[in-house]
Structure 1
């Protein structure tokens, strides 16, 4: 599984790279804030929402600590998606958050 640090992902955003970020946390966690531009799809909803995730793009997967996003990456990789897990999760995110 590919991994990226919180700092590396933040640098990509700051440099203006166009990224697909999927936040797999629960609704009550996302209310606290998420990475600007991130799409919220709860881990439990991934299977039913596969058709909404573009297969030809690279996706960065985010959760609270990096655990659930790791599970999401494994699941998505098994279905042919190109994904990278953000290790450390939102617990380590130091940059801007949006709602």
Structure 2
């Protein structure tokens, strides 16, 4: 699945959509700045939280971090676990805050 731009995500949120957004940054990073409606699951804990995400395997899941590196790893991991529609937020939180 193609990744998503910050502008596209902001537009969808402003239109009232509520996509599944997973912030894979550390908790303190999420507390400093976050996207409305996101779930904070730090990358290192993602394998332990898979059961909690099982209902989303066939849904669009948007992952993000600060700049895109950790969320790229999360996208690859979730895809390997059978998630069919994982999208990485291009440029991460840095891009989102500028969009």
TM-score, with structure 1 as normaliser: 0.89
Q: Does structure 1 retain, via aligned residues, the 8 Å contact 2:18–2:37?
A: no
Alignment of 1:16-55 (within 5 A): 16-53=16-53, 54=55, 55=57
CA distance in structure 2 between the partners assigned to 1:67 and 1:41 by the alignment: 15
Q: Following the alignment from structure 1 to structure 2, what is the Cα–Cα distance between the partners of residues 31 and 14?
A: 21
Q: Distance in 1 between matches of 2:23 and 2:37?
A: 10
Alignment length (residue pairs):
95
Q: CA RMSD in A?
A: 1.3
Unpaired stretches in structure 1, ≥5 consecutive residues: none
Match of 1:92 among 85, 92, 95: 95
Query: What are the superposed Cα offsets for residues 20-72 of structure 1, whole Å, 9 maximum, x if unpaired?
Result: 00000011211212100000000001111001112232100010001100100
Aligned twin of 2:68: 66
User: After the TM superposition, which parts of structure 1 deviate over 4 Å for at least 4 consecutive aligned residues?
Assistant: none
**TM-score with structure 2 setting the length:** 0.89
Question: Which consecutive unaligned segments of at least 5 residues does structure 2 have?
Answer: none
Compare the two structures and name the one with the higher helix fraction: 2
Alpha-carbon deviation of 1:94? 2.7
